[in-house]
Amino acid sequence: MVPKIHSLGGYIHEYQKSVTNPEAFWAEVAEGFYWHKRCDTVLEWDFKGPSIKWFAGGKLNITENIFERNLYTIGNQPALIWEPNNPNEKTRLLTYFELYKEVNKFANTLKQLNVKKGDRVAIYMPMIPELTIAMLACARIGAVHSVVFAGFSANSLSDRIIDADAKIVLTADGGFRGDKITPLKNIVDEALETCPDVEKVIVYQRTNSKINMVEGRDIWWHKAIEGMLEECPAEEMDAEDNLFILYTSGSTGKPKGIVHTTAGYMVYTAYTFLNVFQYNAGDVYFCTADIGWVTGHSYIVYGPLLNGAQTLMFEGIPTWPDAGRFWDVVDKHKVNQFYTAPTAIRSLIALGMEHITNKDLSSLKVLGTVGEPINEEAWHWYHDHIGRNRCPIVDTWWQTETGGVMISPIPGIIPTKPSFATLPLPGIQPVIVNGDNKELTGNSVKGNLCIKFPWPGMARTIWGDHERFRKTYFSTFKNLYFTGDGAQRDEDGYYRILGRVDDVINVSGHRLGTAEIENAINSHPLVNESAVVGYPHSIKGQGIYAFVVCGELSTGGEEGIRKSIKMAVTNMIGPFARPDLIQLVPGLPKTRSGKIMRRILRKVAEGDASNLGDITTLLDEEVVDKIIDGALVPVKR
Ligand code: PRX
């Protein structure tokens, strides 16, 4: 089993061990898993290449570590508790044994469709058990899953299918979200117009929407699994064989396919899940994320299931049928650990106390947050009204690239402080570095957050572009992994994450590249150019502020063009990337060499232009005044 920390002394002891002898520390954690063959070396690494190998030479299958390792003891216990969008529909419950059989059946289905080890499978599905089944079925046969969040547009889906070169797509006729249905299959059809290499589409019937099935290409899920055996031998994988690709946004327009491999990711998600949530056998754990993002991969699917936990998967949204939905789910299933994003908390604060006061919530033991900084007000509200002053909050900092939680309190063990992610987990060696590549030692410092030693869950490459991987993460600071975040270490040595220092923004916990949004805006025929920045937003954390230069206005005038720009972004990326504010400007502040001075736009969007710094290199200083005059937020000059 995975080692669990029980006390502050235990944490200090484990942390010290993990730093003085990381190999021995992780070898001990890895002991608890089921290997066909143990590794030859625990760690081989070089941050220059970079090349990172954990447990090299080891042979295993991650699904055997979920199922075979646990079936004997917990086969009849619930693995997946599924709560539907509509509270009147029945909950589905799959025990470990039932889930195992479903995974095997679907693994055999994929095999029959000629999916082989190493092949990529694109998954564009709603939050239903079959999504988890699909991922694990891929892992069972060694296929690499690439889950695409079901809020992405056809255009984004197609980009990801092409980049990963997936020949098969798994989807559903539609997905329920509150009182709406997302037409997933129609979106897949549109996406596949530009993906000639996709041979098969498997469609799960969820909404009974009227859809078009393409002959020879599309197969109903229920038909495809008919007659499949409930047993499927697990493919033997090398420790460093790819487990999945998950796309995330970066500073440039093109999303990056982050690659995670088998053994390191397994060991890391299992270890962090158990410790960060202090999960005990029999607890019910509920993470509200969508599996389309890394939080869902690591902490709905892999981390909990590797620990034999009961993981709750919720199909719906927090505000439907009313803003008490999360709390009803907590009470109905007696949830013990609850994990969500600050943006959800803030939106529920805004909807009033009446949705909370009549709820029990006494089953809760640990509350978690992830995805963006949590402001103190939201932290206290969560602590007082949801945790009823009894439950520690784990503010967990991590990234798609890190695979699992990196900095977080251990609940009940490490004293918390509002808006601080507190201390690194064992095995994690964070450093704060200034702009001159100098590590800032000691406490009470602020700078760029880097990690100086590898950990098993870290990404190994960007799919098809290792050089971009090197450049993005390992070239800014010498011999360090650069997170892209700014951080402060306070007088107690506690870390507080200050937000991104690059051109990535966190909107409602969704990570977006400003360049990606600009590309989408620029696709509008009347737009000449644009610049997008984040600005403080009371619910979303950051809102999207777009400064747009248009050639001429269409007949709809300014309002019309704003609407059609939003539509262009929805079509190119998805509705969650729509700008909140669109200011039409006569020009953008550019240097003589043509570079947009985003610093100025950020200040305007933040509402404080009193200190713009040096603007003498600007080609046209007047444009700044015009932008401030027309700003859509009050700006201090
Ligand atoms: O800026 C940090 C923010 O989310 C970014 C990673 O986004 P993504 O890869 O989508 O993964 C989100 C879920 C792990 C980070 O670079 N972030 C994540 N957690 C926190 C956070 N910012 C502040 N506090 C956190 N707890």
CA of 373 relative to ligand 1 center, distance in Å: 8
Establish whether residue 421 lines the binding site of ligand 1, counting it when its CB lies within 6 angstroms of any ligand atom: yes
pLDDT above 80: residue 563? yes
pLDDT above 80: residue 505? yes
| Mutation pick for ligand 1 pocket among 265, 288, 397 (CB with most ligand atoms within 8 Å) | 397
Establish whether residue 504 lines the binding site of ligand 1, counting it when its CB lies within 6 angstroms of any ligand atom: no
Of all protein residues, whose CA lies closest to atom 14 belonging to ligand 1?
A: 399
- The alpha carbon of 484 is separated from its chain's Cα centroid by a whole number of angstroms, namely 15
Tens digits of residue pLDDT in 75-114: 999 999 999 999 999 999 999 999 999 999 999 999 999 9
% residues pLDDT > 90 (the chain): 95
Task: Write the DSSP assignment of 399-417 as a string of letters.
Answer: -GGGSS--B-PPTTTSPP-
Residue 251: per-residue pLDDT: 84
CA of 337 relative to ligand 1 center, distance in Å: 20
Nearest to 43 by CA among 58, 32, 31, 33: 58
Q: How far apart are CA 561 and CA 569, in angstroms?
A: 12
Between 556 and 567, the more confident residue is 567
pLDDT above 90: residue 254? no
Establish whether residue 566 lines the binding site of ligand 1, counting it when its CB lies within 6 angstroms of any ligand atom: no
Residue 57: per-residue pLDDT: 98
Establish whether residue 497 lines the binding site of ligand 1, counting it when its CB lies within 6 angstroms of any ligand atom: yes
Count of helix runs (H) and strand runs (E) in the chain: 20, 30
pLDDT above 80: residue 190? yes
End-to-end CA, the chain: 60
CA of 513 relative to ligand 1 center, distance in Å: 13
Tens digits of residue pLDDT in 264-281: 999 999 999 999 999 999
Residue 580: per-residue pLDDT: 98
CA of 23 relative to ligand 1 center, distance in Å: 27
Q: pLDDT confidence of 339, banded at 50, 70, 90? A: very high
The phi, psi pair for 149, rounded to 5°, reads -50, 130
Q: pLDDT confidence of 614, banded at 50, 70, 90? A: confident
Average pLDDT over the chain, rounded to whole? 97
CA of 499 relative to ligand 1 center, distance in Å: 8
Residue 551: per-residue pLDDT: 84
Establish whether residue 522 lines the binding site of ligand 1, counting it when its CB lies within 6 angstroms of any ligand atom: no
Residue 391: per-residue pLDDT: 98
CB-CB contact of 302 with 63 (8 Å): no
Establish whether residue 370 lines the binding site of ligand 1, counting it when its CB lies within 6 angstroms of any ligand atom: yes
% residues pLDDT > 70 (the chain): 100
Overall residue count recorded for the chain in this entry: 637
- Those residues whose C-beta lies under 8 Å from the C-beta of residue 21, and which sit 6 or more positions away, are none
Q: How far apart are CA 596 and CA 582, in angstroms?
A: 17
Q: pLDDT confidence of 613, banded at 50, 70, 90? A: confident
Q: How far apart are CA 379 and CA 397, in angstroms?
A: 15
